Copies of this chain bind each other. A is one copy, B any other.
Amino acid sequence: MEANQKQTIYDIAKAAGVSASTVGAALNGSWKSRRISKNTVNRIVEIAEEVGYTVNLQARALRSAKTGLFGMILPQHDNRFFSSIGQCFSNETRTRQALPVIVSTRRDRDQEVQAVRGLIDYSVDALMLVGTSNPDELGEICREANLPHVFVDQPCEGAPSVVSDNKEGARKLTYALLDQCEKNAVRDIMFLGGNAALHATDLRIQGFREALLQHDQIAMDEQIVACGYGRAPTRDALAKLYQSRKGLPSALFINSIGCFEGALEFLTGLPAEEVDACSIGCFDYDPFGSLLRHPIPMVRQRADELVRRAYQHLDENDTEPRMTLIEPELILPRVINAL
């Protein structure tokens, strides 16, 4: 039934005995304003279906300067937070009848630049940049290319940005941890993981400090170990810490889920009593975390909200370089009997 070679509007035009432009209009919906008779439209549509016609969006894009492609730069897919972002982006993009193009760039400056350039070559209609390591340069590239863009998670000086309220989240988590501690052990809390040069980590450290201040404590620099976002480095950093101070601190603020996994790798090797005596919290959410017997308060970033607001900027053609804060939620541990 279906034709073997790709059909074009010309083929259909011939078959229907009309002109190509009529077919084009009939098939892309503009027939209404072109006042083409419902009859011809029906006939054309029927033939199109019969021969299995599909538009060539490349051609349409070339002509109309809109591709229907929305790009996203993402550090990685295989991470709970970022994959949620990707999922939300996919969903939102779909409702706009467009196609999501997600490129993962491992927080690598060169890969990011290359990816943005690539997406520009493909004439994406807009770009969302998540957790990039070098926002300002990337923003500049987008602006030069006249490409609507918005930053998520890691803000950019010169473009609209949507970011979790990291400071507030860190404050809440720190409070929760301090509440679990004995009063006299307050000074003994530590901050583990993340990259102090990045906006997110920086603000979380600030929130951490502020919360301590509320408890009349000044955080020493040694209490903050920003060992990166990696799993293994965090495990090793914690091991080293444990050795040098001959034991765990009374509380542990772990920055990000990857670091949490690393920390757990080390912690599971310790005697249970030692770990039980330490309050542990994580800035990021994983359902498994809250299924551990040890109670773990966790901060969940609202991926859906972040993406929704970011898209709002794009929809409204907003290029104002202002930052929107999204409040993350503190998830308190449930009581676990088994496991």
Q: Given A77-B77, A87-B77, A339-B264, are A62 and B54 also a contact pair (CB < 8 Å)?
A: no
On whether the beta carbons of A121 and B339 are closer than 8 Å, the reply is no
What's the number of copies of this chain in the assembled complex? 2
Contact string, A268-308, partner B, CB cutoff 8 A, digits 1/0? 11111011100000000011110111100000000000000
A91 nearest in chain B by CB position: B104
Task: Name the distance in Å between A108's Cβ and chain B's nearest Cβ.
Answer: 11
- Contact with A338, one of B86, B101, B121, B276 (Cβ below 8 angstroms): B276
State in angstroms the CA–CA spacing of A61 and B62 once bound together.
Answer: 10
* Nearest chain B CB to A144 CB, angstrom units: 5
- With an 8 A cutoff between CB atoms, is A57 at the interface? yes
Q: How many residues of A contact B (CB 8 A)?
A: 67
Q: A10 → chain B, closest Cβ, in Å?
A: 15
Which residues in B have their C-beta under 8 angstroms from that of A69? 122
- Provided the pairs A52-B144, A271-B337, A291-B264 are in contact, do residues A76 and B87 lie with their beta carbons within 8 angstroms? yes
Are the C-beta atoms of A87 and B78 separated by less than 8 Å? yes
- A274/B80 in contact, CB under 8 A: no
For A224, list chain B residues within 8 Å (CB).
none
> Is A338 within 8 A of B294, CB to CB?
yes
Judged by a CB distance under 8 angstroms, whether A32 is at the interface is no
A327 touches B (CB below 8 Å): no
- In the assembly, what is the distance between CA of A108 and CA of B37, in Å? 36
Q: What 1/0 mask marks residues of chain A from 83 to 114 whose CB sits below 8 Å from any chain B CB?
A: 11011001100100001111110000000000
Q: Which residues of B contact A267 (CB under 8 A)?
A: 338-339
A residues apposed to B, CB below 8 Å? 2, 4, 6, 52, 54-59, 61-62, 67, 69, 76-80, 83-84, 86-87, 90-91, 94, 99-104, 117-123, 144-146, 261, 264-265, 267-272, 274-276, 286-289, 291-294, 334, 336-339
- Could you jot down 25 A-B contacts, CB within 8 Å? A2-B144, A54-B117, A54-B121, A57-B122, A58-B122, A62-B62, A77-B77, A77-B83, A78-B80, A78-B86, A90-B103, A99-B122, A100-B103, A268-B336, A268-B339, A269-B338, A270-B337, A271-B337, A274-B338, A275-B337, A275-B339, A288-B288, A288-B291, A288-B292, A292-B339
16 new A-B pairs (CB below 8 Å) besides A261-B291, A272-B338, A288-B288?
Answer: A2-B144, A52-B144, A52-B145, A54-B121, A57-B121, A57-B123, A58-B67, A58-B123, A77-B86, A77-B90, A78-B80, A99-B122, A100-B103, A261-B288, A268-B336, A268-B338
> Which 6 residue pairs are nearest across A and B when measured between Cβ atoms?
A288-B288, A275-B338, A77-B87, A77-B86, A83-B83, A272-B338
